[in-house]
Chains A and B, each alone.
Chain A
Amino acid sequence: MISYLIRRVLMLVPVFLAVSVIIFLILHFIPGDPIDNLLKVGSSPAARAEMEARYGLDRPLPVQYAIWLGKVLTGDLGTAIVARRPVLDMIAQALPHSLRLGGLALLFSSVMGIGLGVVAALNRDRWPDRAIMGGVLLGSTMPSFWLGLILMLVFSVWLGWFPVSGARSWTALVLPVLTIGLGGTALVARITRVAMIEAAGKDFVMLLHAKGLSPLRIQLRHVLRHALIPVVTILALRIGWILGGAVTVEVVFARPGLGTLLIKSLSQHDYPVVQACLLMLAMAVMLGTLLGDLLQAAMDPRVRAALA
């Protein structure tokens, strides 16, 4: 198991390198020169060259990449060009907000989604199933920023239950978590339902019935246990989606976080910050796949046997 863990983590290294190259290159294709934002209108070409040299923008691309990667690996994410602050500080400030939001949204989607998926599967093709799947479909088709604004309008403005925006109190988290969580719930409920129905048709379930176990016990202890294997795997893979949702929702609710930071620096062409944000999101996605594989091995002895 330990050797598998080491092998699995080592597999992430080339992926990380590939991602870092892509992130580095992409940013250099973005039109709009951050130096323009810093120079006063009508500055001399000499002043411009000096500025470029200060940020290392005058060197060849591979050199720039090597320097950048070296710094990133030692934890130095550079200085924001526009904000003129260490990028690491900005990330350190934003990350906890995004993690809290993403984590709670993930928790909400898992609990709600698995619960609704189980109820739907147990009542397959009867009205609770149709109602849940219908609601879930509707929930997944509303653009998240729109849903967020409507929730804000109803619960914060009309009913006054939650703060409109910001991140000063825990209650401010309710609507953002709900906004991301409804989309996630839809996904999880759908996968859970299909996985339950598929697992219920397996031979061993028939034998459990022949052993005289109660149907509810069979469904919850055995069928659900099986269905959770693909659900957890897919959920871990979708951590990226949850964070993607967080980007939009953070902007809508004016919450500090990676998403707000990303959108803001993207519009200001602040390369180092954008790069750092994308790296963080990429790392989250990679950790998600890792987590998915580990959970699958933890839940399924057959997978463990194949890895040993």
Chain B
Amino acid sequence: MRAVLRAFRRPMGAIAGGWLLAMIFVAVFAAWLTPYDYDIQALKEAYQPPSPAHWLGTDEFGRDLLTRLFHGARTSLSVSSIAIGISVLCGMVLGAAAGWFGGRFDRAVTVVVDLTWSFPEILIALILVAIIGPGTTGTMAAIGVAYLAQFTRLTRAQIMMLKGETFIEAARSLGAGNAHILFRHLLPNALAPVLVSAMLATGDAIILEATLGFFGLGAQPPTPSWGAMMSAGSALVFKAPWIILFPGLAVAITVVAINLFGDALIAELDIRARMRRAA
């Protein structure tokens, strides 16, 4: 965890980390940051371009876009990080079990994982949302499953790599049991690369959430999410381009920030080689 603080000391890490902290801040305090509500319609104010009163303009119902962007951050960030969190947990259990026990179980997991891994996440997510139904829950589940393969692969590769290391052999020769070695030695050592790649995947998940939202399958109105805002704005792109412009910029900048901070973290943790070998 100290690496996170050190990552902040790099210039790129500081800028990127600053933006991410700001996004988290506006997501948490969205309701108190602007004088407007995200869901009160004011048709007289509709389609206003950015102005001192409405910094980012208003949408087709006259709602303040800055307010909706802040509330949208709450939905988008929480949906993608919860989805990735679940995905990481399941992926680590699956990957660790496959890597540790090997044999037929490992082969079965590998086949399924490789199969799903070569399919684009957006297709997997689209099909899953069609099954589960649109909305934030469906989106979360779809994103979670779409990224499961990646974390299973990564964890498995890490476990396979660490299995041969001397300190594991030493622990085993000292009579440590399977569970002890797995939970006390292997998983903690495999954790850093998995967590960093989880962070990077959260960036991709934000884009995925936005794309599902664009197809109208994400958060349902009036709940704002960056994807849902862009979906609404896509029909009005020629009439009121600012409606779609700002949520898109928010997504792009946030994902860039996540990548830059991830890079700084990788450099601090000195795990570049390990991340690449497992990819």
Q: Which residues of A contact B (CB under 8 A)?
A: 15, 18-19, 26, 29-31, 137-138, 141-147, 149-150, 152-153, 157, 194, 237, 240-241, 243-245, 247-248, 251-252, 262-263, 266, 278, 281-282, 285, 288-289
The answer to whether B122 touches A137, judged by C-beta atoms less than 8 angstroms apart, is no
Residues A263 and B215 in contact in the complex (CB < 8 Å), given A29-B131, A137-B259, A240-B118? yes
Tell me which residues across on chain A come within 8 A of B126, comparing CB atoms: 247, 262-263, 266
Closest to B247 in A: A146
Closest to B124 in A: A244
| Complex Cα–Cα for A147 and B207 (A) | 12
B148-184 Cβ-contact flags toward A at 8 Å (1 or 0): 0000000000000000000000000000000000000
Residues A146 and B131 in contact in the complex (CB < 8 Å), given A141-B203, A241-B120, A248-B211? no
- 17 other A-B residue contacts (CB within 8 Å) besides A244-B120, A248-B214: A19-B115, A30-B130, A141-B203, A143-B252, A145-B211, A145-B214, A147-B248, A149-B244, A152-B237, A241-B120, A243-B120, A245-B120, A252-B234, A278-B123, A281-B123, A288-B118, A289-B118
B197-238 Cβ-contact flags toward A at 8 Å (1 or 0): 000000100010011001100000000000100100010011
The answer to whether B251 touches A285, judged by C-beta atoms less than 8 angstroms apart, is no
Closest to A28 in B: B131
Nearest first, the 8 closest Cβ-Cβ pairs linking A and B are A244-B120, A141-B255, A146-B248, A142-B252, A143-B210, A244-B122, A145-B214, A29-B131
Tell me which residues across on chain A come within 8 A of B252, comparing CB atoms: 138, 141-143, 146
The answer to whether B215 touches A251, judged by C-beta atoms less than 8 angstroms apart, is yes
Size category of the binding interface on chain B: 35 or more
**Taking the nearest CB of chain B, how far is it from the CB of A42, in angstroms?**
26
Tell me which residues across on chain B come within 8 A of A251, comparing CB atoms: 215
The answer to whether B256 touches A149, judged by C-beta atoms less than 8 angstroms apart, is no
Residue from the list B115, B127, B234, B259 in contact with A145, Cβ < 8 A: B234
The answer to whether A146 touches B115, judged by C-beta atoms less than 8 angstroms apart, is no
The answer to whether A143 touches B120, judged by C-beta atoms less than 8 angstroms apart, is no
**Taking the nearest CB of chain B, how far is it from the CB of A185, in angstroms?**
16
A sample of 6 cross-chain residue pairs with beta-carbon separation below 8 angstroms, ordered by A number, consists of A143-B207, A149-B234, A243-B120, A244-B121, A244-B123, A247-B126
Tell me which residues across on chain A come within 8 A of B276, comparing CB atoms: 194
| Complex Cα–Cα for A251 and B111 (A) | 32
The answer to whether B210 touches A248, judged by C-beta atoms less than 8 angstroms apart, is no
The answer to whether B248 touches A150, judged by C-beta atoms less than 8 angstroms apart, is yes
Tell me which residues across on chain B come within 8 A of A237, comparing CB atoms: 118
The answer, yes or no, to whether B102 is at the interface (CB within 8 Å) is no
B102-132 Cβ-contact flags toward A at 8 Å (1 or 0): 0000000001000100111111001100110
**Taking the nearest CB of chain B, how far is it from the CB of A97, in angstroms?**
18
| Complex Cα–Cα for A145 and B208 (A) | 11
Tell me which residues across on chain B come within 8 A of A245, comparing CB atoms: 120, 122
Tell me which residues across on chain A come within 8 A of B207, comparing CB atoms: 141, 143
The answer, yes or no, to whether B18 is at the interface (CB within 8 Å) is no
| Complex Cα–Cα for A164 and B230 (A) | 18
Tell me which residues across on chain B come within 8 A of A18, comparing CB atoms: 111, 115
The answer to whether B119 touches A240, judged by C-beta atoms less than 8 angstroms apart, is yes
Tell me which residues across on chain B come within 8 A of A157, comparing CB atoms: 238
Residue from the list A141, A194, A281, A288 in contact with B256, Cβ < 8 A: A141
Tell me which residues across on chain B come within 8 A of A146, comparing CB atoms: 210, 214, 230, 244, 248, 251-252
**Taking the nearest CB of chain B, how far is it from the CB of A286, in angstroms?**
8
